[in-house]
Amino acid sequence: MAPETSEPARLGTWLAEWLASGDHLVEEQGLHYNSGDTAWVLVSSALVLFMTPGLAIFYGGMVRRKNVLAMAMQNFAVMAVVSLLWVWVTYSLAFGPDLGGVGIIGSLHFAGLGHIHQPVPGFTGARAQTIPPVVFITFQMMFAIITPALLTGSSADRLKFGSFLIFIVAWSILVYAPIAHWVFSPQGWLSKAGIEDFAGGTVVEVNAGVAGAALALVAGRRRGWPNQVMRPHNIPLTVLGGGILWFGWFGFNAGSALSAGRAGIAFVNTNTATAAALLSWIAVERWRTGRPTTLGAVSGAIAGAVAITPACGFVNTAGATVIGLLAGLVASLAVSLKFRLKLDDSLDVLTVHGIAGLVGTILVGFFGTAESMGANGLLYGGSPHLLGVQALGCLCVGLYSFMLTAGIAFAIRKTVGLRVGSEEEDAGLDLSLHEENAYDFESLSSQRSIGRMSQG
């Protein structure tokens, strides 16, 4: 009598059969996946997801003490909301078969991750992917998460939590998904026009910077700004968050190669530009005020990482260095722009992301090299066409993002309300919205009082 098969053994047999059936499906469709590429993109996906908690720490250190938990709450809520939206709706809109053949938006063919084994439309020939579609879906989901998370810095200290969630849902569907289709999908109209955006200079950075400005404009200024000084409450937190972002950016940029073999140049260019921008930012501070600051150093690093994002796979080391230096220079000089515009962009998202992203995207038209993965820019004998397409992409993404974002925010403001009341804002969002405090100084003070009484 044969021994009875155990439950773990049956489960193992079923799992092996299921995996084998997947292999047969891949073979039948003529697809060939590379295990090294797949592993690298999965690791990169985790790195990019880690950037959002890093962003919460980065922003959390820059807000006032009474709003640090509200900032963390918004960023973690974005991770949850956008994750669900991505698998059910927005991935299909961004990368599904083009609707109408005009390159504006994808269809709902992949809604709910239906037809998940089908190749991503447009990635054929030299662009054919060597990773399973579900891995590409996962990687792109992390971009869809961190892009709206960036907006929390523009509108810090004043939005209702429920209204913010409504905004994120509408923004992800109406703004992020179409722009991702234009640029990232080979069927998008800007992609067909020849735009070179390796990892999201337009889709993520210009988009988020301009959208953040629109949201801040509709929400209105914080109470007391600009007359009241609103200094960062914990710069070491910001430095820690900036370090996490620098670390995660290697997945963001080098992961966008979608293969392990081509990731090296994007990796080293990302680090080179980030380092160069840090130094140029603090050099400008030293020239303007006589003292470089820690906040300036970490802001410069982020500006450099932003600027190299569209260019990291298309330029050489010299190009990456110059892009980083110029990004730190331009972004540091542009910080005061919000005061001239009287725009309360709380944590300088327009400057550090929007303007630095614009700089990097445009400079691909000058420093791009065919020796890397793209076309030659003007400095390497290329035609003005590439520069024109880069500028067109920034212009169209910026205009669309600003108008749609402002429209969404205005509709929410007129219906359910966008920002908290004056008393709630003065008390701080941590306490008024979430009944929490990041730092329990009252308890510490009570313990000291009890200690003094016992000694007395």
Q: Which two tokens stand for residue 388?
A: 């024109």
Statement: residue 452 has pLDDT above 90: no
Domain ranges of the chain: 34-440
Task: Indicate if the alpha-carbon torsion angle 116, 118, 119, 120 is positive or negative.
Answer: negative
Task: Indicate if the alpha-carbon torsion angle 319, 383, 189, 112 is positive or negative.
Answer: negative
The number of angstroms, rounded, from the C-alpha of 444 to the middle of its chain's C-alpha atoms is: 38
Fold classification of 34-440 is Ammonium transporter fold (1.10.3430)
pLDDT in tens, 370-408: 887 789 999 999 999 999 999 999 999 999 999 999 999
pLDDT in tens, 418-430: 999 999 999 999 9
pLDDT in tens, 140-198: 999 999 999 999 999 999 999 999 999 999 999 999 999 999 999 999 999 999 999 99
At 404, give phi and psi (nearest 5°): -70, -40
pLDDT in tens, 310-359: 999 999 999 999 999 999 999 999 998 899 999 999 999 999 999 999 99
Angle at 291 (CA atoms; ends 233, 55), nearest 5 degrees: 35
* CB of 394 closer than 8 Å to CB of 202: yes
At 375, give phi and psi (nearest 5°): -100, 165
* CB of 312 closer than 8 Å to CB of 305: no
Among 196, 203, 1, smallest CA distance to 94 is for 203
Helices and strands counted in the chain (H then E): 20, 0
Predicted local confidence at residue 22, as pLDDT: 37
Peptide bond into 226 cis (omega under 30): yes
Q: Which two tokens stand for residue 208?
A: 């988020």
Q: How many CB atoms lie within 10 A of CB 449?
A: 10
Q: Please identify which residue in the block is written with the tokens 């990302």.
A: 270
pTM score, whole prediction: 0.90
At 310, give phi and psi (nearest 5°): -75, -15
Statement: residue 3 has pLDDT above 90: no
At 249, give phi and psi (nearest 5°): -65, -20
Mean pLDDT of the chain: 91
Helix 235-254 × helix 35-62 angle, to 10°: 160
The DSSP code for 380 is G
Q: How many CB atoms lie within 10 A of CB 47?
A: 20
Q: Which two tokens stand for residue 318?
A: 């010299």
* CB of 335 closer than 8 Å to CB of 350: no
268 burial via Cβ count (<10 Å: 0-12, 13-18, 19+): middle
Predicted local confidence at residue 74, as pLDDT: 98
Q: How far apart are the C-alpha atoms of 128 and 186, rounded to whole Å?
A: 11
The DSSP code for 123 is -
